[in-house]
Copies of this chain bind each other. A is one copy, B any other.
Amino acid sequence: MPGGCCVERVCEGCPVLLVVDERRRYVFRVRRGAWFGSDRGSVKHDQLVGLEYGSWVRLSSGVYALVLQPRLVDYMERGLRRRSQVIYPKDHGMILMLLDLAPGMRVLEVGVGSGFTTAVLARAVGPGGRVYSYELRADMAEVARRNLEELGLLDRVVLRLRDARLGVEERGLDAAVVDMPDPWAVLPVLEEALRPGAGAVFFTPAANQAARLVAALRARPRWGELRMLELLARDYETRGDALRPKATMIAHTGYLVYARLTLPAPTP
Protein backbone atom coordinates (compact mmCIF):
# COMPACT_ATOMS: atom_id res chain seq x y z
CA MET A 1 0.00 0.00 0.00
CA PRO A 2 1.43 3.41 -0.94
CA GLY A 3 2.04 6.38 1.36
CA GLY A 4 -0.77 8.50 2.70
CA CYS A 5 -2.07 5.73 4.97
CA CYS A 6 -4.75 7.06 7.35
CA VAL A 7 -4.54 10.50 5.72
CA GLU A 8 -5.36 9.87 2.07
CA ARG A 9 -6.06 6.17 1.98
CA VAL A 10 -7.58 3.59 4.33
CA CYS A 11 -5.08 0.96 5.39
CA GLU A 12 -5.34 -1.88 7.86
CA GLY A 13 -5.45 -0.27 11.28
CA CYS A 14 -6.55 3.16 10.10
CA PRO A 15 -9.48 4.91 11.77
CA VAL A 16 -12.56 5.69 9.72
CA LEU A 17 -15.70 7.72 10.19
CA LEU A 18 -18.46 5.86 8.36
CA VAL A 19 -21.46 8.08 7.66
CA VAL A 20 -24.65 6.24 6.73
CA ASP A 21 -26.90 9.21 7.34
CA GLU A 22 -27.03 12.25 9.61
CA ARG A 23 -27.67 10.16 12.72
CA ARG A 24 -25.82 6.98 11.82
CA ARG A 25 -22.19 7.97 12.15
CA TYR A 26 -19.61 5.46 13.33
CA VAL A 27 -15.94 5.78 14.22
CA PHE A 28 -13.78 2.62 14.29
CA ARG A 29 -10.45 1.17 13.26
CA VAL A 30 -10.23 -1.08 10.22
CA ARG A 31 -9.27 -4.68 11.06
CA ARG A 32 -9.05 -7.29 8.33
CA GLY A 33 -11.65 -9.99 8.87
CA ALA A 34 -13.93 -7.79 10.99
CA TRP A 35 -17.41 -6.65 9.99
CA PHE A 36 -19.14 -3.32 10.35
CA GLY A 37 -22.83 -3.79 11.09
CA SER A 38 -25.81 -1.46 11.56
CA ASP A 39 -29.55 -1.48 11.12
CA ARG A 40 -28.94 -0.05 7.67
CA GLY A 41 -26.66 -2.82 6.45
CA SER A 42 -23.20 -4.20 6.96
CA VAL A 43 -19.83 -4.35 5.20
CA LYS A 44 -16.64 -6.31 5.68
CA HIS A 45 -13.72 -4.16 6.82
CA ASP A 46 -11.63 -5.68 4.04
CA GLN A 47 -13.69 -3.76 1.53
CA LEU A 48 -12.61 -0.51 3.14
CA VAL A 49 -8.92 -1.26 2.89
CA GLY A 50 -7.37 0.59 -0.01
CA LEU A 51 -10.21 3.07 -0.43
CA GLU A 52 -9.44 6.73 -0.67
CA TYR A 53 -10.95 8.76 2.16
CA GLY A 54 -13.95 10.63 0.82
CA SER A 55 -15.13 7.49 -1.00
CA TRP A 56 -18.51 5.82 -0.81
CA VAL A 57 -18.88 2.15 0.10
CA ARG A 58 -21.91 -0.01 -0.62
CA LEU A 59 -23.45 -1.72 2.40
CA SER A 60 -25.20 -5.11 2.22
CA SER A 61 -28.53 -3.24 2.06
CA GLY A 62 -27.55 -1.42 -1.10
CA VAL A 63 -27.22 1.84 0.83
CA TYR A 64 -24.00 3.78 0.24
CA ALA A 65 -22.01 5.09 3.18
CA LEU A 66 -19.35 7.78 3.18
CA VAL A 67 -15.82 6.90 4.37
CA LEU A 68 -14.00 9.79 6.02
CA GLN A 69 -11.04 10.53 8.25
CA PRO A 70 -12.48 11.04 11.74
CA ARG A 71 -11.77 14.49 13.13
CA LEU A 72 -11.18 14.92 16.83
CA VAL A 73 -14.77 16.17 17.14
CA ASP A 74 -16.03 13.02 15.39
CA TYR A 75 -14.05 10.89 17.81
CA MET A 76 -15.47 12.80 20.76
CA GLU A 77 -18.99 12.38 19.46
CA ARG A 78 -18.78 8.73 18.43
CA GLY A 79 -15.46 7.04 18.87
CA LEU A 80 -14.26 7.42 22.43
CA ARG A 81 -15.16 6.00 25.79
CA ARG A 82 -17.12 8.53 27.78
CA ARG A 83 -17.40 8.18 31.54
CA SER A 84 -18.07 11.70 32.63
CA GLN A 85 -19.70 14.97 31.69
CA VAL A 86 -17.56 16.26 28.87
CA ILE A 87 -16.67 19.67 27.53
CA TYR A 88 -18.02 20.43 24.05
CA PRO A 89 -16.19 21.63 20.93
CA LYS A 90 -17.62 25.16 21.15
CA ASP A 91 -16.02 25.46 24.59
CA HIS A 92 -12.83 23.67 23.55
CA GLY A 93 -12.33 26.13 20.71
CA MET A 94 -12.76 29.10 23.02
CA ILE A 95 -10.35 27.56 25.53
CA LEU A 96 -7.69 27.36 22.82
CA MET A 97 -8.21 31.04 22.00
CA LEU A 98 -8.34 32.26 25.59
CA LEU A 99 -5.18 30.40 26.53
CA ASP A 100 -3.41 31.36 23.32
CA LEU A 101 -2.38 27.75 22.88
CA ALA A 102 0.29 27.07 20.28
CA PRO A 103 2.69 24.30 19.34
CA GLY A 104 5.42 23.77 21.91
CA MET A 105 3.56 24.99 24.97
CA ARG A 106 3.47 23.16 28.31
CA VAL A 107 0.01 22.95 29.83
CA LEU A 108 -1.40 21.82 33.16
CA GLU A 109 -4.73 20.01 33.26
CA VAL A 110 -6.55 19.36 36.54
CA GLY A 111 -9.45 16.94 36.27
CA VAL A 112 -8.99 14.71 33.26
CA GLY A 113 -12.34 12.99 33.05
CA SER A 114 -12.61 11.01 29.84
CA GLY A 115 -9.59 12.80 28.38
CA PHE A 116 -11.41 14.76 25.70
CA THR A 117 -9.98 18.10 26.75
CA THR A 118 -6.59 16.46 27.20
CA ALA A 119 -6.78 15.42 23.56
CA VAL A 120 -7.67 18.90 22.38
CA LEU A 121 -4.79 20.39 24.33
CA ALA A 122 -2.36 17.69 23.19
CA ARG A 123 -3.25 18.32 19.55
CA ALA A 124 -2.77 22.04 19.92
CA VAL A 125 0.64 21.90 21.61
CA GLY A 126 1.91 19.42 19.03
CA PRO A 127 4.66 16.83 19.44
CA GLY A 128 7.00 19.44 20.90
CA GLY A 129 4.59 20.44 23.67
CA ARG A 130 3.43 18.69 26.83
CA VAL A 131 0.17 18.30 28.73
CA TYR A 132 0.50 17.43 32.44
CA SER A 133 -2.82 15.93 33.46
CA TYR A 134 -3.86 15.26 37.04
CA GLU A 135 -6.74 12.97 37.88
CA LEU A 136 -7.94 11.66 41.23
CA ARG A 137 -9.85 8.60 40.10
CA ALA A 138 -7.99 5.62 38.73
CA ASP A 139 -10.90 4.45 36.58
CA MET A 140 -11.21 7.81 34.88
CA ALA A 141 -7.48 8.06 34.31
CA GLU A 142 -7.58 4.65 32.67
CA VAL A 143 -10.43 5.69 30.36
CA ALA A 144 -8.50 8.83 29.43
CA ARG A 145 -5.32 6.84 28.82
CA ARG A 146 -7.08 4.50 26.45
CA ASN A 147 -8.77 7.33 24.60
CA LEU A 148 -5.48 9.19 24.17
CA GLU A 149 -3.81 6.02 22.98
CA GLU A 150 -6.55 5.47 20.44
CA LEU A 151 -5.96 9.02 19.21
CA GLY A 152 -2.20 8.61 19.07
CA LEU A 153 -1.69 11.52 21.44
CA LEU A 154 -0.37 9.73 24.52
CA ASP A 155 3.26 10.62 23.81
CA ARG A 156 2.62 14.30 24.60
CA VAL A 157 0.64 13.69 27.74
CA VAL A 158 1.94 13.01 31.23
CA LEU A 159 -0.96 11.43 33.15
CA ARG A 160 -0.62 11.65 36.90
CA LEU A 161 -3.01 9.80 39.20
CA ARG A 162 -2.83 12.28 42.04
CA ASP A 163 -4.68 15.03 43.89
CA ALA A 164 -3.51 18.27 42.29
CA ARG A 165 -4.83 20.22 45.27
CA LEU A 166 -1.89 18.83 47.24
CA GLY A 167 0.60 20.25 44.74
CA VAL A 168 2.01 19.49 41.32
CA GLU A 169 5.57 18.83 40.26
CA GLU A 170 5.79 21.12 37.27
CA ARG A 171 6.92 24.73 37.30
CA GLY A 172 6.86 27.54 34.74
CA LEU A 173 3.90 26.15 32.82
CA ASP A 174 2.31 28.21 30.05
CA ALA A 175 -1.38 27.58 30.72
CA ALA A 176 -3.87 25.57 32.78
CA VAL A 177 -7.30 24.03 32.29
CA VAL A 178 -9.23 23.10 35.43
CA ASP A 179 -12.38 20.98 35.49
CA MET A 180 -13.21 19.97 39.06
CA PRO A 181 -16.01 20.61 41.55
CA ASP A 182 -13.94 22.84 43.85
CA PRO A 183 -11.65 24.77 41.52
CA TRP A 184 -10.92 27.40 44.19
CA ALA A 185 -9.01 24.71 46.11
CA VAL A 186 -6.34 24.46 43.45
CA LEU A 187 -5.53 28.17 43.12
CA PRO A 188 -2.48 28.12 45.43
CA VAL A 189 -1.08 25.25 43.38
CA LEU A 190 -1.62 27.08 40.11
CA GLU A 191 0.17 30.10 41.52
CA GLU A 192 3.25 27.96 41.98
CA ALA A 193 3.07 25.95 38.78
CA LEU A 194 2.32 28.64 36.19
CA ARG A 195 4.74 31.25 34.95
CA PRO A 196 3.64 34.83 35.62
CA GLY A 197 1.38 35.99 32.83
CA ALA A 198 0.09 32.48 32.08
CA GLY A 199 -3.65 32.03 31.74
CA ALA A 200 -6.01 29.52 33.30
CA VAL A 201 -9.47 28.45 32.18
CA PHE A 202 -11.87 26.86 34.65
CA PHE A 203 -14.87 24.96 33.35
CA THR A 204 -17.84 24.76 35.73
CA PRO A 205 -21.36 23.54 34.96
CA ALA A 206 -23.07 25.60 37.66
CA ALA A 207 -23.29 29.38 37.77
CA ASN A 208 -23.08 29.64 41.55
CA GLN A 209 -19.91 27.52 41.49
CA ALA A 210 -18.45 29.83 38.84
CA ALA A 211 -19.40 32.86 40.92
CA ARG A 212 -17.73 31.41 43.98
CA LEU A 213 -14.59 30.81 41.93
CA VAL A 214 -14.63 34.38 40.62
CA ALA A 215 -14.87 35.65 44.19
CA ALA A 216 -11.96 33.45 45.22
CA LEU A 217 -9.84 34.69 42.33
CA ARG A 218 -10.63 38.28 43.23
CA ALA A 219 -9.78 37.70 46.86
CA ARG A 220 -6.30 36.43 46.05
CA PRO A 221 -3.71 39.05 45.10
CA ARG A 222 -2.21 37.34 42.07
CA TRP A 223 -5.02 37.02 39.51
CA GLY A 224 -6.05 39.55 36.90
CA GLU A 225 -7.93 39.87 33.63
CA LEU A 226 -10.93 37.95 35.01
CA ARG A 227 -13.61 36.93 32.59
CA MET A 228 -16.65 34.68 32.95
CA LEU A 229 -18.63 33.66 29.91
CA GLU A 230 -20.73 30.99 28.34
CA LEU A 231 -21.06 30.04 24.69
CA LEU A 232 -24.23 29.06 22.91
CA ALA A 233 -24.03 27.18 19.61
CA ARG A 234 -27.11 27.45 17.45
CA ASP A 235 -27.42 25.08 14.52
CA TYR A 236 -29.54 25.75 11.45
CA GLU A 237 -31.40 23.36 9.21
CA THR A 238 -29.40 22.63 6.07
CA ARG A 239 -32.05 20.69 4.21
CA GLY A 240 -35.10 22.10 2.47
CA ASP A 241 -35.75 25.69 1.49
CA ALA A 242 -36.76 27.12 4.85
CA LEU A 243 -33.94 28.97 6.56
CA ARG A 244 -34.44 28.32 10.25
CA PRO A 245 -32.59 27.26 13.37
CA LYS A 246 -33.04 23.66 14.45
CA ALA A 247 -36.00 23.34 16.79
CA THR A 248 -34.00 22.32 19.85
CA MET A 249 -30.48 23.02 21.02
CA ILE A 250 -28.05 22.33 23.80
CA ALA A 251 -28.95 25.20 26.07
CA HIS A 252 -26.17 24.72 28.55
CA THR A 253 -22.88 22.92 28.98
CA GLY A 254 -20.99 25.10 31.42
CA TYR A 255 -19.38 28.40 32.19
CA LEU A 256 -15.81 29.32 31.34
CA VAL A 257 -13.90 31.40 33.86
CA TYR A 258 -10.64 32.86 32.63
CA ALA A 259 -7.94 34.52 34.70
CA ARG A 260 -4.31 35.35 34.31
CA LEU A 261 -1.59 34.90 36.88
CA THR A 262 0.27 38.07 37.79
CA LEU A 263 2.93 38.96 40.27
CA PRO A 264 1.57 40.38 43.52
CA ALA A 265 -0.04 43.77 43.06
CA PRO A 266 1.80 46.68 44.69
CA THR A 267 0.36 47.71 48.00
CA PRO A 268 -1.07 51.18 47.57
Contact = CB atoms under 8 A, between A and B. Distances in A.
B71 A100 contact: yes
A49 interface: no
Interface string A53-87: 11110100000101011011100000000000000
Contacts of A206: 242-244
Interface in A215-241: 218, 224-239, 241
Contacts of A250: 247-248
A179 to B, nearest CB: 15
Contact of A207 (B96, B207, B246): B207
B265 A64 contact: yes
A245 B252 contact: yes
This chain's copy number in the assembly: 4
Contacts of A97: 72-73, 89-90, 92-93, 96, 120
B246 A252 contact: yes
A244 B252 contact: yes
Contacts of A260: 54, 68
A89 B98 CA distance: 8
Interface string A189-226: 00000011101000001111111001000100000111
Which applies to chain A's interface (DSSP): helix, strand, loop or mixed?
mixed
Given A93-B93, A197-B54, A248-B248, A228 B238 contact: yes
A127 B103 contact: yes
Given A52-B196, A54-B262, A234-B230, A251 B248 contact: yes
Given A56-B262, A68-B197, A262-B54, A231 B232 contact: yes
A33 B69 CA distance: 54
Interface residues on A, range: 35 or more
Interface string A168-180: 0000000000000
Given A218-B238, A233-B94, A207 B243 contact: yes
Interface in A29-65: 52-56, 58, 64
A259 to B, nearest CB: 9
Given A230-B233, A247-B250, 10 more contacts: A69-B197, A71-B98, A71-B199, A89-B97, A92-B97, A102-B126, A207-B243, A228-B236, A246-B251, A249-B251
23 contacts: A19-B225, A53-B197, A54-B195, A54-B261, A55-B196, A69-B197, A90-B231, A93-B93, A96-B97, A102-B124, A205-B244, A207-B243, A210-B236, A214-B238, A218-B238, A227-B235, A227-B238, A228-B236, A231-B231, A232-B234, A245-B252, A248-B251, A249-B251
